[in-house]
């Protein structure tokens, strides 16, 4: 799998630990925040869970609270060793950039409060690592994540981006030239969450 991404931040990485590493990827957004959990065992990736946190139509502080609260539940449920968050770039709309940055801050705070190292990658690094091109379309990311993790169907765009962040970090920290897809897993659980195991 192409890509030469390297993590930024998170110097307390547990990449050297023995056995599978569980990585939580987060695609932050004020309206929709995607999350994806994978286990990395050498060159093999195993899908664990993914889903989307929907914050509703309340005020910005209320929605940021939903992100922090629900990610705390995800962290407690799946006990990852590391967290990966997509880095935000300034776009043409400064208000949107500010709100996205706040959502990202809520996600990072949730991980920090859990005592976990947080790593950051740019969207281009993530796409390069997963698809092989930094300008890949979202549909390409969805298709490649479905293939790499042997999912029964396309994940939602937000969940796919979160899973892609986790895969990117797994690739960057193992130094493997390719990742092997995991065995097929079933869907289940809540409507906003794809799960392969309880």
Is 82 known to be catalytic?
no
Q: Is there a catalytic annotation at residue 158? A: yes
Which tokens is 61 given? 């502080």
Contact of 24 with 170, CB cutoff 8 Å: no
157 beta partners = none
For the chain, what is the radius of gyration of the CA atoms? 15
64-70 own/partner pairs: CB under 8 Å, 24+ apart: 64/30, 64/102, 64/103, 64/105, 64/106, 65/106, 67/28, 67/30, 67/33, 67/103, 67/106, 67/107, 67/110, 68/106, 68/107, 68/109, 68/110, 70/33
Q: Which of 27, 39, 120, 161 is catalytic?
A: 27
What is the dihedral sign for C-alpha 113, 119, 122, 124?
negative
Residues in the chain: 198
Whether 15 and 170 have beta carbons less than 8 Å apart is answered as: no
Two structure tokens written together for 125 = 């690094």
Q: Find the catalytic residue in 82, 86, 120, 161.
A: 86
The SS3 of residue 78 is helix
- 86: annotated active-site residue: yes
- Which residues are identified as catalytic? 27, 86, 158
């Amino acid at each position: 799998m192409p890509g030469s991404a390297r993590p930024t931040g998170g110097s307390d990485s547990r990449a050297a630990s023995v056995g599978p590493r569980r990585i939580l990827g987060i695609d932050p957004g004020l309206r929709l925040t995607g999350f994806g959990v994978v286990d990395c065992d050498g060159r093999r990736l195993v899908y664990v869970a993914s889903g989307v946190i929907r914050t509703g139509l309340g005020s910005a502080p209320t929605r940021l609270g939903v992100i922090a609260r629900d990610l705390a539940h995800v962290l407690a449920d799946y006990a990852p060793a590391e967290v990966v968050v997509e880095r935000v770039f300034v776009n043409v709309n400064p208000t949107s950039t500010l709100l996205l940055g706040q959502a990202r801050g809520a996600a990072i705070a949730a991980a920090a409060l859990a005592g976990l190292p947080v790593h950051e990658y740019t969207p281009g690094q993530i796409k390069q690592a997963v698809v092989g091109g930094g300008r890949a379309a979202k549909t390409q990311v969805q298709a490649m994540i479905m293939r790499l993790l042997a999912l029964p169907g396309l994940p939602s765009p937000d969940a796919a981006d979160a899973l892609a962040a986790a895969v990117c970090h797994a690739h960057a920290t193992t130094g493997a030239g390719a990742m092997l897809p995991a065995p097929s897993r079933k869907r289940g659980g809540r409507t906003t969450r794809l799960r392969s195991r309880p």
